[in-house]
Structure 1
Amino acid sequence: MSGKLLNVAVAGATGAVGNEMIRGLESRNFPVKSLKLLASSRSVGRTLSFRGQDIAVEELTADSFTGVDIALFSAGGGPSLAFAPHAAAAGCVVVDNSSAWRMDPDVPLVVPEANPEAVAGYVGKGIIANPNCSTIQMLVALAPIHRTYGLKRIVVSTYQAVSGTGKKAIDELSVQTQAVLDRADPVCGVYPHRIAFNCLPHIDVFLENGYTKEEMKMVNETRKILGDATIGITATTVRVPVFYGHSEAVNVETRMPFDMKDVRNLLRAAPGVRVVDDPAGNVYPMAIDATGQDDTLVGRIRRDESMENAMNLWIVADNIRKGAATNTIQIAEILAEKYL
């Protein structure tokens, strides 16, 4: 990375992903000259630690970005739509973690392991979009397969942790779990049904085509990131009673034939991937192993014997880290190294 120090802002600093962004900037030794922490007016007065110093949280406003080089946004879609253009107008490059800008044709959508060259497109609006957490981990694993063999079709089922919904969902799972164990009636607030000891095939709102918005995010974002609208993709997204870590069962059909040994070697060499695959020893990726890690874990790697040129993968990652904060910082690292 270049030796230039940058003025950085984190919008949504007091949330789970914002907190992780601050920790990531420190642990990855990002070249921070100054750090501005922004949140809603409710959080003004709080302090958060960065490199041993307490930094006061300021209110996120249209005037927050004067002199800021890079802003990492995790404040939600509404605030992103409201404030990211102001940041860009002030000469700041925004890396946004919400869904607000992902499908904008003038905004690059980036997974650094899949399409790092797309970062250059930030000049269009001064904004770069961070993909959906489930899309990110899937494409970390599938990008090298696509580059080598070409992806023809993807069938993915996700098993997503409640932390993807936020702190209230984490608390609800905790409270409901205790209620069930105590033989009491659990109260549902965040989700329409009980999540404790249950699975909900329902993430985000249902659309007219019968899919949820989350499922269509995976379809549309994958095609944009890989630059191939011809890839057939279908998704089913499920919320499961896990606190952290999303898991995915992925079946892919490739355009070219492959050897499974070569696929394994390809994945072992792929950046951001850690192959965890020894079924005989009961070794395979699990959410509890991915939690707190930046790698995407891939296992249960096997040929699909029901059709030609197809394989199955089990892909697991920490949705707060690689699925959100870390991917955002990796994009900022490319910006710092090559463009700013």
Structure 2
Amino acid sequence: MAYKVAVVGATGVVGREMLNILHERNFPVSELVPLASRRSVGKDAHFGDRKLKVRALEDFDFTGTDIALFSAGGATSKEWAPRVAAQGAVVIDNSSQWRMDPDVPLIVPEVNADAISGYRKKGIIANPNCSTAQLVVALKPLHDHATIRRVVVSTYQSVSGAGNDGVTELERQTKAIFVNDAIEKHKFTKQIAFNVIPHIDVFLDDGYTKEEWKMMAETKKILDPKIKLTATCVRVPVFIGHSEAVNIEFENPISADEAREILSVAPGVQVLDRREDGGYITPLECAGDYNTFVSRIREDFTVENGLVLWVVSDNLRKGAALNAVQIAEELVSQQLLRKQAA
């Protein structure tokens, strides 16, 4: 079987990565259609060694399309995802628009692939926030073993999480510093070059940002509603790769050695944990990789049954594009598509 796939937002940083990963993983594509807004019509989109012309979302008829991967922002997803689903395509949406809808499954395949079948209610499957995706991949096998009670996580998130504009701003500011030009701020609230900003997304009334709220709410929906989680999300001057310092409190005893053994065989996880100089992973090293990396595994002696982890992943891949393609692969393997192309 092969499938007609549309990528909505194909000119964006995540959309381009979706095209790359569909090709890399040999997803069974009969036809691939790159879509974006009308201002991008005619631009080139690359699928392996093929060049495809970008078409307008507003003018495209999705009849006969099997899967639509969306990475075009919440407003676009809100308007178009139900329309596309009504025409028979399964929508896999990377925005935050549908994540907390009770009729839309929020999926990380290594964690809750069995929930994918719930997409039939609206024809939409949600991709989680990039920082949540890598976190729950690491938490799931540990939760199954010792039951997580509470998580405290601090994130160090790359500028690519803010899209093309975030990457451009870091590039421009870095160059400006070296040639002594004025620093211009457009995407971020403060200078990002050679700085860190403890602010991602809008502030909520309780003092948390929406990014932090997403991690709390999404972890509960994906993994376990009983887990308590608090987060501090920080933007850092790194181009690709989100990092997380994670403190976990369990209901049952678990040692660092046990955790290391459990994670070393967990799906989607790679352990790199040597207690020596350089015996850990950094975001620079994880860029372009599919895995979620775990390092610095140690016991937290300030709580009973506590562990500390360092978790790193390519946010454009596992945090977005890869996870979406893995969901599409699950639809195929579980034979859940409404209509399968010949």
User: Which category describes the TM-score, using the shorter chain as reference length?
Assistant: over 0.9
CA shift, 1:134, in A, is 0.1
CA shift, 1:131, in A, is 0.1
| Aligned counterpart in structure 2 of residue 274 of structure 1, from 251, 270, 275 | 270
Aligned to 2:204: 207
Within the alignment, does 1:165 sit opposite 2:162 as a pair?
A: yes
| Aligned counterpart in structure 2 of residue 130 of structure 1, from 124, 127, 132 | 127
CA deviation digits over 1:103-125, x for unaligned, max 9?
00000000111111111111110
Letter in 1 for 2:259: V
Separation in structure 1 between the aligned mates of residue 49 and residue 289 of structure 2, nearest angstrom: 23
Q: Counterpart of 2:109 in 1: which secondary structure?
A: coil
| Aligned counterpart in structure 2 of residue 328 of structure 1, from 300, 324, 329 | 324
Separation in structure 2 between the aligned mates of residue 100 and residue 184 of structure 1, nearest angstrom: 39
Letter in 1 for 2:144: R
1:231-242 paired onto structure 2 within 5 Å: 231-242=227-238
Letter in 2 for 1:24: I
More displaced stretch, 54-63 vs 196-205: 54-63
Does the Cα contact within 8 Å between 1:62 and 1:86 map onto a contact in 2?
Answer: no
Does the Cα contact within 8 Å between 1:62 and 1:83 map onto a contact in 2?
Answer: no
CA deviation digits over 1:258-283, x for unaligned, max 9?
13222111000001111011122421
Aligned to 1:224: 221
Separation in structure 1 between the aligned mates of residue 165 and residue 228 of structure 2, nearest angstrom: 35
Does the Cα contact within 8 Å between 1:223 and 1:229 map onto a contact in 2?
Answer: yes
Aligned to 1:259: 255
Q: Counterpart of 2:58 in 1: which secondary structure?
A: coil
Aligned to 2:93: 96
Q: TM-score, normalised by structure 1?
A: 0.97
Aligned to 1:73: 70
CA shift, 1:52, in A, is 3.1
Letter in 2 for 1:135: T
Aligned to 2:39: 42
Does the Cα contact within 8 Å between 2:4 and 2:64 map onto a contact in 1?
Answer: yes
| Aligned counterpart in structure 1 of residue 11 of structure 2, from 4, 14, 24 | 14
CA shift, 1:314, in A, is 0.3
Separation in structure 2 between the aligned mates of residue 12 and residue 63 of structure 1, nearest angstrom: 13
Separation in structure 1 between the aligned mates of residue 168 and residue 225 of structure 2, nearest angstrom: 39
CA shift, 1:49, in A, is 2.6
Q: Counterpart of 1:188 in 2: which secondary structure?
A: coil
Identity %: 54
CA shift, 1:63, in A, is 4.7
Q: TM-score, normalised by structure 2?
A: 0.96
Does the Cα contact within 8 Å between 1:203 and 1:238 map onto a contact in 2?
Answer: yes
More displaced stretch, 147-156 vs 55-64: 55-64
Separation in structure 2 between the aligned mates of residue 22 and residue 30 of structure 1, nearest angstrom: 10
Does the Cα contact within 8 Å between 1:62 and 1:87 map onto a contact in 2?
Answer: no
Within the alignment, does 1:246 sit opposite 2:242 as a pair?
A: yes
Aligned to 2:340: none
Does the Cα contact within 8 Å between 2:255 and 2:299 map onto a contact in 1?
Answer: no
Aligned to 1:297: 293
Letter in 2 for 1:195: I
Does the Cα contact within 8 Å between 2:159 and 2:166 map onto a contact in 1?
Answer: yes
CA deviation digits over 1:172-219, x for unaligned, max 9?
111111222233331111111111111100000000000000000000
Letter in 2 for 1:235: A
CA deviation digits over 1:100-156, x for unaligned, max 9?
000000000001111111111111100000000000000111110111111100000
Mind listing any 5+ residue stretches in structure 1 that lack a counterpart? none
CA shift, 1:10, in A, is 0.4
Q: Counterpart of 2:276 in 1: which secondary structure?
A: helix
Within the alignment, does 1:153 sit opposite 2:137 as a pair?
A: no
CA deviation digits over 1:228-261, x for unaligned, max 9?
2221110000001111110000000011111322
Within the alignment, does 1:175 sit opposite 2:172 as a pair?
A: yes
CA deviation digits over 1:289-314, x for unaligned, max 9?
11111101100000001111010000
Separation in structure 2 between the aligned mates of residue 64 and residue 255 of structure 1, nearest angstrom: 52
CA shift, 1:51, in A, is 4.0
Does the Cα contact within 8 Å between 2:131 and 2:215 map onto a contact in 1?
Answer: yes
Within the alignment, does 1:119 sit opposite 2:116 as a pair?
A: yes
CA shift, 1:83, in A, is 0.7
